[in-house]
Amino acid sequence: MAADPKQQATEERLAALTLPEGGGWLGAARKDALGRLEAVRLPGRRDEYWRYTNPAPLVQAAPALDVPDQVEDPFEGVDALVVTIDGDNIEIPGELPAGLEIGTLADAARADIHWAKELYGHREAAGSRPVSRPLAMLNSAFATNGLVIRATGKVAMPIHVRTGGGTDPILHHLVKVETGASVTVLESGIAGARSNIVTEIDVADDGTFHHIRVDGPTRARHGNTHLFARLGAESTFKSFTLSAHGELTRNEAVVELTGDDAVSHIAGAAFGQGDFHHDDTVFVIHDAENCESRQVYKKVLRDGAVGVFQGKILVKEGAQKTDGYQISQSLLLDDDSVFLAKPELEIYADDVACSHGSTTGAIDETALFYLRSRGVPERAATDLLVLSFLAEALEEIEDETLRANISGRLADWLSRD
Amino acid sequence: MTVLDEMRAKEGVDAETVERVKSLSGTYKHGWNTEIEMDYAPKGLSEDIVRLISEKNGEPDWMLEWRLEGYRRWVGMKEPKWAMVQYPEIDFQDQYYYARPASMLEKPKSLDDVDPKLLETYKKLGIPLKEQAILAGVEPEPGEEDRKVAVDAVFDSVSVGTTFQKELAKAGVIFCSISEAVREHPELVKKYLGSVVPQSDNYYATLNSAVFSDGSFVYIPKGVRCPMELSTYFRINAENTGQFERTLIIAEEGSYVSYLEGCTAPQRDVAQLHAAVVEIVVLDDAEVKYSTVQNWYPGDENGRGGIYNFVTKRADCRGDRSKVMWTQVETGSAVTWKYPSCILRGEASQGEFYSIAIANNFQQADTGTKMVHLGKNTRSRIVSKGISAGKAQNTYRGLVSMHPKAKNSRNYTQCDSLLIGSECGAHTVPYIEVRNNSSRVEHEATTSKVDDDQMFYCRSRGMDEEEAVALVVNGFCKEVLQALPMEFAMEAQQLVAISLEGSVG
């Protein structure tokens, strides 16, 4: 019998990697993740979970692309605490506001930080049930570094994590928001030609975590991210991602609402053309009463670009009074673009209101005609309609200043295409 | 038909159907078993059994070869596991693949020749008296036919009789058992059998290709509007018997037919297998309506017994402006695995799918549809209503696919789920694939419970809780019930209520 292609691909990739040195709790967590990975193997084309995205570029031993040039800072002008990850170098500001601790994974490995120990690989492992996420397992085993962020109070200034300078980075971040604390994390930069970034987040009761990520506008990049979050009672989790271009992006998010009255909003706005392939895969688990979850995903596709959305809301038995909402929409600007969606609901509690919607179509001819008849050139009119289409996702950004900043960035990038 | 006749026909149906349903008590209504001497093939499945089935049906060599090819493919296949249903491993060698009433070895010449127990079966099935006689071989009195429904009854493995053959023949319509069609109309069967659902389509369809024993065959010639509704009753009676019927419907250019299908089985502790295939070919400007009320035995309230229903139904809209409408009311079966689909190949062809799936107690249903848009200006509409109660699991699984060449096409999908009780589950698994931008695809799904305000309103008007739930659920299903032919609509409404009995309080 011929060798199993998944087995072969996994062996090739593992042969190209070295398990980072160091024992302790991190070493044990790495070995555990490696064991789990070897049991399930890296994803292949025939996996149902990779039905619409070919994982090969993310799996193969070496990245297929050259290291891209760094891009402009999308958060320029935003007053933030900047942390830079430049290859293996991590620079953290010397002075941090009260209620905030930031360290590196390497530091945490040496110290016996109990919360980090309890989080690392654990959220990720929990997020692999029932569907395994082998690329995240690979990350937990081989992550070279990452940030370890803990908020113990209300941190007003956002933390801006600017990542670059890597060739094929595997980064693993940990975020702990303690009871009643709040923090905002902004992410930007091109981590490398290929990147694998996992963020494990634990939001304790009454905590608040905001996350805004901007990817782009480089084209030659293969990115894979995972967000694994657990939400305590009355906590809030809001994550928004703007993606501009990129050959291959697979952003996965697994959010588990474990405390009553928790709120989770995840949103994404993406646009791209040509060889753009953008995949959002989201899994929201309701395991407590009276929680609210929202997922809003919008994609604008041009010149044969491919958009993928796989979203699932699971409401466990006993998670009564759940309010779950999911919308995935795409705008196909020409006949060659493709949108593939699998929005799922799996519900085991009766007193719930869950819904999902998905629409796909071309730009509204009437609206376009209206703008053209008012003398707006076709291209500008199209951009205007694209912006209004993406606006619903952008509205998920709570902070007005940040929303305005991102909107401006989006309009600028769009007009440059 | 005069207006008066039409009214009488309608009233006749109503009164009769209502009467029939009312006469049924709280639990499964068709759980009786007819003690008829059966002619069985040996248990298990092998090439010899396939040969035997073919021989019993007096089939030509090409048909046998076709079956054997199916069997050989099936041996190398694996049972699919992706559906959200769980059931113990099926031992395919522990089944009878062929059983027929012994009295049917020779076709009955008159009513006296018919096994009285078989007649009793028809009666219990609710097949109208007149048709019982016709099914049993008695010619109808001329001018006496006030209810225009031709019936084909399939009892275990064999079609036991088809009514109104003569009148249908006048219109050029062929409505007979598939085994008869293989003998009498081989050119049609050869041309179309397996052209929509190929032998190797999926595990159960392949099994069916090898062992199908009977089923119905319908051919509507060019430009003919079938003068009456066609109906098939399927009944599994014998124990440990699988039923594998195969239905083939061909609608030639500009023709129209409405086809109804009803299914029941006796109450047994051991699960029984049912793997049917329905193929529909629709040519230019033709229209086929296919309605099913599936009420196979669902198992008892502890989840024992019941029918495992693995069905492949597909319509191929080959012709331009052709149209297919699937309507299903799925209330029975312990496990349902069924996705009636439409291949919209012809330009401006249309596919519709209206479904009510009710799962109570330990029932599991994984059902939905596929709308594959290949031609330009094609349209499809999906309305699915899933109701879960008790400890049941109900899944809608569907695919809407717009191919690059299916320009200016349109799909609208609505999937609503209703949960009654906190131990059941309702799931939605749609796949949406859009590969051109002139088409529009819209999908909506909601999950909720029975509305408290509506319940309160009904209760305050003096209804008991069960009646109130039945009323609310019927309202929830309204769009689908309206799509059913008159024949079935009343029965379906009652079935909805009956299926949910014991789910509240």
Summarised one tens digit per residue, pLDDT across range A334-374 is 999 999 999 999 999 999 999 999 999 999 999 999 999 99
Domain regions of chain A by residue span? 5-363
Q: Is the pLDDT of residue B267 over 70?
A: no
Q: Which of A333, A339, A356 sits opposite B445 (nearest CB)?
A: A356
In chain A, what residues touch B86 (CB-CB under 8 Å)?
Answer: none
Average pLDDT over residues B314-330: 95
Closest residue in B to A353 (Cα–Cα): B448
DSSP A135-153: HHHHHHHH--B-EEEEESS
- The SS3 call for residue A367 is helix
8 Å CB contact between B344 and B315:
no
User: How many residues are listed for chain A in this entry?
Assistant: 417
CA distance B106 to B84: 44
Average pLDDT over residues B385-392: 92
**What is the number of other CB atoms lying within 10 angstroms of the CB of residue A28?**
13
B391 alpha-carbon distance from chain centroid: 24
- Using the beta-carbon criterion (under 8 Å), do A335 and B442 form an inter-chain contact? no
CA distance A164 to A192: 6
Which residues are registered as beta bridge partners of B43?
B96
Q: Is the pLDDT of residue B21 over 50?
A: no
| DSSP, res A369 | H
B33 versus A293: the higher-pLDDT residue is: A293
Who contacts A102 (Cβ-Cβ below 8 Å, separation ≥6)?
Answer: A83, A92, A96, A147, A148, A149, A150, A159
What confidence score (pLDDT) does residue A175 get? 98
Q: Is the pLDDT of residue A285 over 70?
A: yes
Nearest-10 Cα torsion for A111, A115, A121, A122: 150
Q: Is the pLDDT of residue B483 over 90?
A: no
How many cross-chain Cβ pairs, A to B, lie less than 8 Å apart?
115
Q: Which of B397, B424, B447 to mutate to test the interface with A (most CBs of A within 10 A)?
A: B447
- A152-180 pLDDT tens trace: 999 999 999 999 988 899 999 999 999 99
Average pLDDT over residues B326-346: 92
What confidence score (pLDDT) does residue B233 get? 74
8 Å CB contact between A289 and A316:
no
- Using the beta-carbon criterion (under 8 Å), do A360 and B424 form an inter-chain contact? no
Helix axes A400-416, A378-394, angle to 10 degrees: 150
What confidence score (pLDDT) does residue A71 get? 81
CA distance A305 to A300: 9
What confidence score (pLDDT) does residue A243 get? 95
B149 versus B467: the higher-pLDDT residue is: B467
Closest residue in B to A300 (Cα–Cα): B437
A355 contact B CB<8A = yes
A334 contact B CB<8A = yes
**A344 sits in which H/E element:** strand A338-347
- Using the beta-carbon criterion (under 8 Å), do B422 and A361 form an inter-chain contact? no
Closest residue in B to A352 (Cα–Cα): B448
Q: Is the pLDDT of residue B288 over 90?
A: yes
- What are the start-end ranges of the E strands in A89-131? 89-91, 100-104
Distance, in angstroms, between B410 CA and closest chain A CA?
10
Ranges A57-61, A103-107, B132-136: which has the least confidence = B132-136
- Using the beta-carbon criterion (under 8 Å), do A347 and B437 form an inter-chain contact? no
- A231-246 pLDDT tens trace: 999 999 999 999 999 9
Distance, in angstroms, between B94 CA and closest chain A CA?
32
pLDDT bracket for residue B497 (50, 70, 90): confident
- Using the beta-carbon criterion (under 8 Å), do A345 and B424 form an inter-chain contact? no
CA distance B162 to B167: 12
Closest residue in B to A357 (Cα–Cα): B444
Question: Could you tell me whether strands B323-330 and B350-359 are parallel, antiparallel, or unpaired per DSSP bridges?
Answer: parallel
- For chain B, what is the mean pLDDT? 81
CA distance A310 to A344: 8
pLDDT bracket for residue B299 (50, 70, 90): confident
CA distance B1 to B146: 10
Distance, in angstroms, between A2 CA and closest chain B CA?
18
What confidence score (pLDDT) does residue B422 get? 87
8 Å CB contact between B229 and B258:
yes
Q: Is the pLDDT of residue B105 over 90?
A: no
Q: Is the pLDDT of residue B20 over 80?
A: no
- For chain A, what is the mean pLDDT? 94
Tokens for A287, please give them.
Answer: 């395991």
- Using the beta-carbon criterion (under 8 Å), do B440 and A339 form an inter-chain contact? no
- A109-144 pLDDT tens trace: 988 889 999 999 999 999 998 899 999 999 999 999
What confidence score (pLDDT) does residue B239 get? 60
What confidence score (pLDDT) does residue B482 get? 85
What confidence score (pLDDT) does residue A248 get? 96
pLDDT bracket for residue B129 (50, 70, 90): very low
Distance, in angstroms, between A130 CA and closest chain B CA?
13
In chain B, what residues touch A48 (CB-CB under 8 Å)?
Answer: 82
CA distance B178 to A4: 44
Q: In 3D, which of A193, A194, A197 has the Cα closest to residue A185?
A: A197
Tokens 């069985």 — which residue? Answer: B40
What confidence score (pLDDT) does residue B208 get? 93
C-alpha to C-alpha distances, B254 to A204, A396, B288, B319, B412, nearest whole angstrom: 66, 53, 10, 10, 26
pLDDT bracket for residue B268 (50, 70, 90): low
A344 contact B CB<8A = yes
What confidence score (pLDDT) does residue B25 get? 32
The proportion of chain A whose per-residue pLDDT surpasses 70, expressed as a percent, equals 100
Who contacts B289 (Cβ-Cβ below 8 Å, separation ≥6)?
Answer: B257, B258, B259, B324, B325, B327, B485
- A39-75 pLDDT tens trace: 999 999 999 999 999 999 999 999 888 877 778 899 9
- Phi and psi at residue A393, to the nearest 5°: -70, -40
CA distance B173 to B133: 21
| DSSP, res A398 | -
CA distance A172 to A121: 9
The pTM for the full model equals: 0.87
The proportion of chain B whose per-residue pLDDT surpasses 90, expressed as a percent, equals 45
Q: What is the ipTM of this complex?
A: 0.89
In chain A, what residues touch B449 (CB-CB under 8 Å)?
Answer: 350-352
**What is the number of other CB atoms lying within 10 angstroms of the CB of residue A317?**
14
CA A118, A121, A124, A128 torsion: positive or negative? negative
Average pLDDT over residues B1-23: 38
Average pLDDT over residues B166-195: 90
Average pLDDT over residues A274-291: 96
